[in-house]
A and B are shown apart, each in its own frame.
Chain A
Amino acid sequence: MHQKVIISSSQFAILVLLNTIGTTILIVPAGLASEAKQDAWIPAILGVGLGLVVISLYNSLGGMFPQMTLVEYCEKILGKWMGITVSIGFIFFSFIGATTLIWLIGNFLVTQIMPESPVITIHAFFVLIVIMGVRLGLEPIARSAEIFLPWVGIFFLLLVLLPISDSNLENIQPMFDSEVKPILRGALSFLSVATLPLIIFHMIVPNGQRSKDTNKAFYLGSLIGGVVLISITLLTLLVLGPGLTARNLYPSFALAKKVGIKGVVERIEVIMAILWFITIYYKTSIYCYASIKGLAQLLSLKDYRILSLPFGMILLAVSLIVYPDVVYEAEWDVKTWIPFTATFGIILPAFLYLVAVIKKRKKAKN
């Protein structure tokens, strides 16, 4: 009932990579540094490690139903009504993900770069290009991601190499001084932003069947993304110090403002912003694609595209009211987002996997 999505496994890996970096690169150093101070890089490494475990859960769950999307296998595992309820949950989850990302980009642009623009125009233009991508389909999104990947790589290298001379090892000393609980909190917040939302990638079935290559691509994308995030966290710590990193809303942007070669290369923070726009664009597109495709499959529509334009308008409307202010956002992102993503990113997939395994065993016995 659905058209085949034809993307190669390397394109799949690139999309996973861009999704992992997405918002995380801009906000995660602050969260980690406020939890674990000078040891903020430890929860980042722990988070990447745990992330790979989570990905292995996704891969084994996806491997049981290699030809089905998330919405389809929910129905298959849990029966019609339970399956539909859980699917609506997943669709709601990716919708909320998309709206908060659009709010974040609007807030970032208005506070840091374009303070006089009305926020609705920024949101509207961003929603417009996201919906444009979703209407064109996943293949063009994946191909354009391939084109942008070298730029992301170059900008990232610039951002890593330029500030190295400004770094100060004293900023991460004393090492291993934190207790276990702050490290765990940090790792959890890292996971909740970087890895757990990747469950929505199960709305994509590359080439009509998940294969070993897609599984590998899933690991690879998330691992490379993790390495990028660890190095950015370490670097903001080394250059800005734990105090400034924790207090800054966008520490990696502050880092980019600070670095450069005097008189030759200066004010490269917009490079950071572009890097972030590219990655967040793909993250929002995948969220949007997942929720629109999920809705269409739930309503058994042949073509998900007819829902895309009204969906874009709803997205725009909700993105404008989603967070009342930055204080609410900071509190919500820690206190609610973590258990919210944990439900959809770990608990439900684990539950689905368990039920599927039990059902399979029962079938084998009979």
Chain B
Amino acid sequence: MLKVLGVVVITLLIIWIEIPPMKKQNKKKEIWMFSIFQFIATALLSLVVLNVKIPSPLELIRIIYKPFSDVLFSLLS
């Protein structure tokens, strides 16, 4: 839990750095985009520090490219 607290503290720090200048200039779209990304980031990092098993994006790429890679390496071996 301590680690998640760390993630939350970092998140608050980032929000404290980024939001006020955007608010001042009234950039609604920017604030939205930033918030969406920050939400994904906080959720993802919390899950990772809690050791929740998240599938690596590489696994997805590996499955997509398996047929190509099999053909390529059978041609070259």
Where the two chains meet, the residues of A that have a C-beta atom closer than 8 Å to any C-beta of B are 96, 99-100, 120, 181, 184-185, 188, 299, 301-303, 306-307, 309-314, 316-318, 320-324, 328, 332, 335-336, 338-340
Contacts and interface: CB of A to CB of B under 8 A. Distances in A.
A338 B62 CA distance: 11
Q: Which 4 A-B pairs have the closest CB atoms?
A: A313-B41, A310-B37, A317-B45, A310-B38
A120 B57 contact: no
B48 A321 contact: yes
B58 A320 contact: no
B57 to A, nearest CB: 6
Interface in B1-18: 10-11, 14, 17-18
Contacts of B34: 306-307, 310
A287 B17 CA distance: 24
Contacts of B54: 321
Contact of B41 (A100, A120, A311): A311
B30 A311 contact: no
A313 B62 contact: no
A335 B37 CA distance: 32
Interface of B: 10-11, 14, 17-18, 22, 29-30, 33-34, 37-38, 40-42, 44-45, 47-49, 54, 56-58, 61-62, 65-66, 68-69, 72-73, 76-77
Contacts of A302: 30
A320 B47 CA distance: 11
5 contacts: A184-B76, A306-B18, A322-B57, A322-B58, A338-B72
A188 to B, nearest CB: 8
Nearest to B34: A306
B30 A339 contact: no
A106 to B, nearest CB: 13
Given A306-B30, A317-B48, 9 more contacts: A100-B58, A301-B30, A307-B33, A307-B34, A310-B40, A313-B14, A317-B45, A323-B58, A339-B68
A96 B57 contact: yes
Contacts of A299: 33
B37 A307 contact: yes
B26 to A, nearest CB: 13
- Chain A facing B: main interface SS: helix
B45 A316 contact: yes
Contacts of A339: 65, 68-69, 72
A99 B56 CA distance: 11
Contacts of B66: 336
B62 to A, nearest CB: 5
Contacts of B33: 299, 301, 306-307
B45 to A, nearest CB: 4
B44 A318 contact: yes
B57 A318 contact: yes
A144 B40 CA distance: 32
A307 B77 CA distance: 44
Contacts of A306: 18, 22, 30, 33-34
Given A306-B30, A310-B34, A310-B38, A321 B56 contact: yes
B14 to A, nearest CB: 4
A250 B73 CA distance: 24
A317 B29 CA distance: 25
A94 to B, nearest CB: 13
Contacts of B17: 309
A71 B17 CA distance: 28
B18 A96 contact: no
A46 B77 CA distance: 18
Given A181-B77, A307-B34, A340-B61, A314 B69 contact: no
Contacts of A184: 76
